[in-house]
Amino acid sequence: MVLGTLLTAAAAGALVWAARGPDAGGPADGRRAGGEPPRAAASPSSTASSAAERPLAGRTVLVDPGHNPGNFRHTAEINRQVDAGTHRKECDTTGTATAKGYTEAAFTLDVAHRLRDLLTAQGAKVVLTHDADRPFGPCVDERARIGNEARADAAVSVHADGSGTGHRGYHVILPAKVAEGGADTGPIVGPSRALGESIAAGFRAATGTAPADYVGGGTGLDVRDDLGGLNLSTVPKVFVECGNMRDPEDAALLADPAWRQKAASGMADGIRTYLTR
């Protein structure tokens, strides 16, 4: 009889333990089964701090370095006609260069690397259309497709202009509303303008340079319907012409690594503002 009572009490204790779970009892210091200390809950302040430090976490940004350093060795390939949405045009071009031989392709790749690093530090996933890891290209239609397939939250194509001497300043190219052939920019026109305006403001604040004095009416914005990289994009996208390589004063800025870092910082600021507003 005593043995039966003891067994009944033991069974009842086991049921209580099972109901409470193995972690409900245990040592007085709160350690979990196996001697593992309890996990500390993240404090609201640490969570807020993490969000502030990585405001672009969960976002994808396409960075498109205009042209390719190897394009000049592959003129036949880059002259091949491809779909630009509303028409056909060359796969790509060699881009421009300063009078001292600093190429647009070298400039855009350098700025793209700086921009990538700044955005990655803020938590973004950055997709490059190329990293000089291919002999030429990609073609303009593929550049758009890479951003589309990545479902980028924002896409930025980095360039430098080749206008006449005496023309100075940056400008941001926005997609026009087109619906023809393979192009239908209607859904991205508004978001792309918001992205472009944000980048233009960030660029000016970071670099101290003025909007272009030869295009855009002093706004730093220009709308075009002839660029395949914009026409074929299904995600918000802009081109940033950081300055004019054919003007000696602009060329001196574009060739300066410290200024290029400011340019990348301005673009990153604009992208962050657009994606977190």
* Per-residue pLDDT at 53: 87
Amino acid found at 126: V
Q: Is residue 19 domain-resident?
A: no
Does residue 27 have a pLDDT over 70?
Answer: no
Percent of the chain past pLDDT 70, that is, above it, reads: 82
- What is the SS3 assignment for 151? coil
Q: Is residue 3 domain-resident?
A: no
Does residue 195 have a pLDDT over 50?
Answer: yes
Does residue 22 have a pLDDT over 70?
Answer: no
Residues 263, 159: Cα–Cα separation, whole Å: 11
CB 269, CB 276: distance < 8 Å: no
CB 265, CB 258: distance < 8 Å: no
CB 267, CB 240: distance < 8 Å: yes
Q: Is residue 49 domain-resident?
A: no
The band of 52, judged by pLDDT with boundaries at 50, 70 and 90, is confident
Strand partners, 170: 211
pLDDT tens string 86-113: 999 999 999 999 999 999 999 999 999 9
Percent of the chain past pLDDT 90, that is, above it, reads: 81
* Per-residue pLDDT at 43: 59
DSSP state, residue 197: H
Q: At what angle do helices 186-207 and 257-276 cross, to 10 degrees?
A: 140
Give the structural domain span for 77: 54-276
* Per-residue pLDDT at 187: 98
Phi, psi (deg, nearest 5) at residue 186: -45, -50
Q: From the CB of residue 106, how many other CB atoms can be counted at a distance below 10 Å? A: 17
Q: Is residue 10 domain-resident?
A: no
Q: How many domains does the chain have?
A: 1
Q: Is residue 139 domain-resident?
A: yes
Does residue 4 have a pLDDT over 80?
Answer: no
Q: Is residue 36 domain-resident?
A: no
Please tell me the least confidently modeled range out of 3-12, 80-89, 183-192: 3-12
* Per-residue pLDDT at 47: 55
Average pLDDT, the chain: 88
53 is catalytic: no
Does residue 49 have a pLDDT over 90?
Answer: no
Does residue 262 have a pLDDT over 60?
Answer: yes
Return the higher-pLDDT residue of 244 and 51: 244
- What is the SS3 assignment for 80? coil
Q: Is residue 13 domain-resident?
A: no
Q: Is residue 39 domain-resident?
A: no
- What is the SS3 assignment for 274? helix
The band of 219, judged by pLDDT with boundaries at 50, 70 and 90, is very high
In which residue are the tokens 């004019």 written?
244
* Per-residue pLDDT at 19: 38
Strand partners, 62: 127, 155
The band of 137, judged by pLDDT with boundaries at 50, 70 and 90, is very high
- What is the SS3 assignment for 34? helix
- Whichever domain contains 269, its CATH number is 3.40.630.40
Residues 209, 161, 238, CA angle at the centre, nearest 5°?
A: 80
Instruction: Quote the radius of gyration of the chain (alpha carbons, Å).
Output: 28
Tokens, residue 89: 């045009």
CB 239, CB 67: distance < 8 Å: no
Q: How many CA atoms lie within 13 A of 101 on its CB side?
A: 0
Helix then strand then coil, % of the chain, to nearest 5: 45, 20, 40
* Per-residue pLDDT at 14: 40
Could you say which of 90, 104, 180, 241 is catalytic? 241
